[in-house]
Structure 1
Amino acid sequence: MVRPRKQINLNPQEPDLANVVATLQRQLLEQQLETNRLREQVARLNQIPQANEEPLQDNPVPPVAPQVPEVRQGVPRNVEVPLVPEGIQANPPLVREDLLFERFRRMKAPEFEGTTDPLEADNWLIDIQVILDFMGITEREKVLCASFALKKDARHWWMTVQMRKDVAAMSWQDFVAEFRMMYYNSEILAAQQDEFTSMKQGSMTVLEAVKKFEQLARLCPELIPNETAKVRRMMKMFRTDIAKQVSAGSSPPTQVSDCISRAIRAEYWINQDKEARAQIFKAKKEEKTVVKQFQPRQNQESYPKGQINNSGQNSKQFGKNKRKGNAIGQ
């Protein structure tokens, strides 16, 4: 019995050429960076003379051509792998900036288009600073990444900064100062400070009031220079019934966290007391309604049909007759 032969697939699936070329280019850039780093190390070693040895002569270090990895599996023969000519060297700063921006994109940093709300601007500045600190980059690179996230009106503002400042030598603190000068308007900040000093809890819950309190406090730190001043300002913000319970006892709160936790507990028990009183009032109201509905039925059932309760009218008539008799007797 003749076994059937296995059919050989003469048309294997061709690989994705774009992915292969992109992989090769990325590997080439990484090798170029490594090559430049090795050159700098060799140059530094040549400049430092060793002990008991004559200083080395200034012989140029022969250039090391970047080696492209041999990737032939899955690549068709008619595809040429891009190579860098021997006489041309890549620019390391540009390569580093490309890799830096690629890392920054992966962090999904928020974009900023400009605003008239200082709270919104401050939120963006905090978010972007957290990302930049996590990346562990230099001051100049922080400025590059932050300016890359500016869009629309904010991008036009940054272009004006570039015309009057040397942004290449700008530190991150300089960028923050320029940003706050633009988006922390003095008039808006003054209005925010007035709102902060006169803020009251009102109908808000404790958590809602504390959230708004913290937002306004970020824009006027000079009004609450320490923890004690912040607790005192927060106590004035709470409702009177809550503030009384928070400050009750021999040890009033000295920390913000303690003040907030006491206010939450006080609000809970105040709401519980209000609910209990509301239930009692509702029960009494329902009881009065039932009594009013039952009273007319009882009066109608006391007299037969066709008879009317004229007791009130009879008493009035008796009073009139009595007064009339007294007048005749006189």
Structure 2
Amino acid sequence: MTVRRNKGSISVCCIRNEDSRKGLGSNDESCSLGKNVKPPEFKGDPDPVAAGAWLKEMEKAFNIVQVSDNLKTDYASYFLKNEVNYLWEPTRALEREGHVPWARFTELFLEKYFPDSMQNQMGIEFLELKQADRCVAEYEVKFTEFARFVPDYVHSEAQKARRFQHGLKSEIRSRVVALQLKTYPSIVQAALVIEIDQKLADREKEDKKRKIDNVEETSGQEGSIQKS
């Protein structure tokens, strides 16, 4: 297997080795297979969530094309652009070993763009996260964003579900709790349905009130005309 860098992508080609060509057995089956993935570039986004997301995207790309550990740092640094790349080069030069292992690269990257202090702050914000004036869909997006980077607080499906449910508005939460749901997707779906139902009920109340107000206003106008 050979791994190549193309413009903006990592390419892996599975090519038969000598043994397969000689019929000594291989699962590659005269394969000349090319897979291309295009990880995002990182240009120094100050948002720590974006930095963490970029690192995860790189790791996903490595898994797809099966990049070996000793090549990961070189390929990841290829996607560091602009000022980030200029900062990385002297940092790499300061490392004692000529090659920077992937674990060390990850450590240095997180120290710079997603330090422990920021992760701790996100943990606090995650624990305090509530739906508040957001709709359920917006709350779920925010919850998922935080949960990706504070896994210690959602280490199981049940714990993740409980935390999401706890942050819902009281009028939605009370109805979700009554359903005794256990999984995160089912609780999210129930909250979405309940929210829609509440909006429809509120709209019906407003329409009914408007009709009553119109009838009273009309009656008042007719009474005034009769008196005059």
- TM-score, normalization by structure 2: 0.79
Determine the C-alpha separation between the residues in 2 that align with 1:127 and 1:270. 38
1:230 match:
160
1:286 match:
214
2:148 is paired with a residue whose SS is: helix
Pairing 1:190–2:190 present: no
Contact preservation (8 Å) 2:41, 2:80:
yes
1:261 match:
189
Larger CA Rg, structure 1 vs 2: 1
Determine the C-alpha separation between the residues in 2 that align with 1:146 and 1:168. 16
1:109 match:
39
Determine the C-alpha separation between the residues in 1 that align with 2:57 and 2:149. 16
What are the ranges of 5 or more consecutive residues in structure 2 without an aligned counterpart? 12-35
Determine the C-alpha separation between the residues in 1 that align with 2:121 and 2:104. 26
Determine the C-alpha separation between the residues in 2 that align with 1:175 and 1:145. 11
Pairing 1:100–2:5 present: yes
* Pairs within 5 Å for 1:4-19: none
Residue identity matched to 1:104: I
1:240 match:
170
TM-fit CA distance, 1:178: 2.2
Determine the C-alpha separation between the residues in 2 that align with 1:169 and 1:182. 19
Determine the C-alpha separation between the residues in 2 that align with 1:101 and 1:166. 30
1:109 is paired with a residue whose SS is: coil
Q: Residue 153 of structure 1 is aligned with which of 80, 83, 104?
A: 83
Contact preservation (8 Å) 1:101, 1:145:
no
Q: Number of aligned pairs?
A: 202
TM-fit CA distance, 1:208: 0.9
1:187-219, CA deviations, whole angstroms, 9 ceiling, x for partnerless residues? 332332222111111221111101100111122
Residue identity matched to 2:109: F
* Pairs within 5 Å for 1:212-231: 212-231=142-161
Determine the C-alpha separation between the residues in 2 that align with 1:193 and 1:129. 23
2:225 match:
297
Determine the C-alpha separation between the residues in 2 that align with 1:282 and 1:180. 57
Determine the C-alpha separation between the residues in 2 that align with 1:200 and 1:222. 19
1:193-250, CA deviations, whole angstroms, 9 ceiling, x for partnerless residues? 222111111221111101100111122222222222212211111000111111104x
Determine the C-alpha separation between the residues in 2 that align with 1:160 and 1:253. 53
Residue identity matched to 1:278: E
Residue identity matched to 1:138: S
Tell me: CA distance 1:167–1:201, structure 2 relative to 1, closer, same or farther (3 Å): farther
1:56-104, CA deviations, whole angstroms, 9 ceiling, x for partnerless residues? xxxxxxxxxxxxxxxxxxxxxxxxxxxxxxxxxxxxxxxx78x434552
Q: Residue 129 of structure 1 is aligned with which of 46, 59, 66?
A: 59
2:23 match:
none
Tell me: CA distance 1:133–1:182, structure 2 relative to 1, closer, same or farther (3 Å): same
Tell me: CA distance 1:107–1:220, structure 2 relative to 1, closer, same or farther (3 Å): closer
Report which of the two has the higher share of strand. Answer: 2
Determine the C-alpha separation between the residues in 2 that align with 1:117 and 1:186. 14
2:25 match:
none
Contact preservation (8 Å) 1:246, 1:253:
yes
Cα RMSD, aligned residues only? 2.2
Determine the C-alpha separation between the residues in 2 that align with 1:267 and 1:167. 57
- TM-score, normalization by structure 1: 0.56
TM-fit CA distance, 1:168: 5.3
TM-fit CA distance, 1:151: 1.4
Contact preservation (8 Å) 2:126, 2:143:
yes
Tell me: CA distance 1:185–1:116, structure 2 relative to 1, closer, same or farther (3 Å): farther
What are the ranges of 5 or more consecutive residues in structure 1 without an aligned counterpart? 1-95, 301-330
Contact preservation (8 Å) 2:92, 2:100:
no
1:206 match:
136
Pairing 1:165–2:88 present: no
Pairing 1:143–2:73 present: yes
TM-fit CA distance, 1:167: 6.4
Residue identity matched to 1:213: F
TM-fit CA distance, 1:141: 2.3
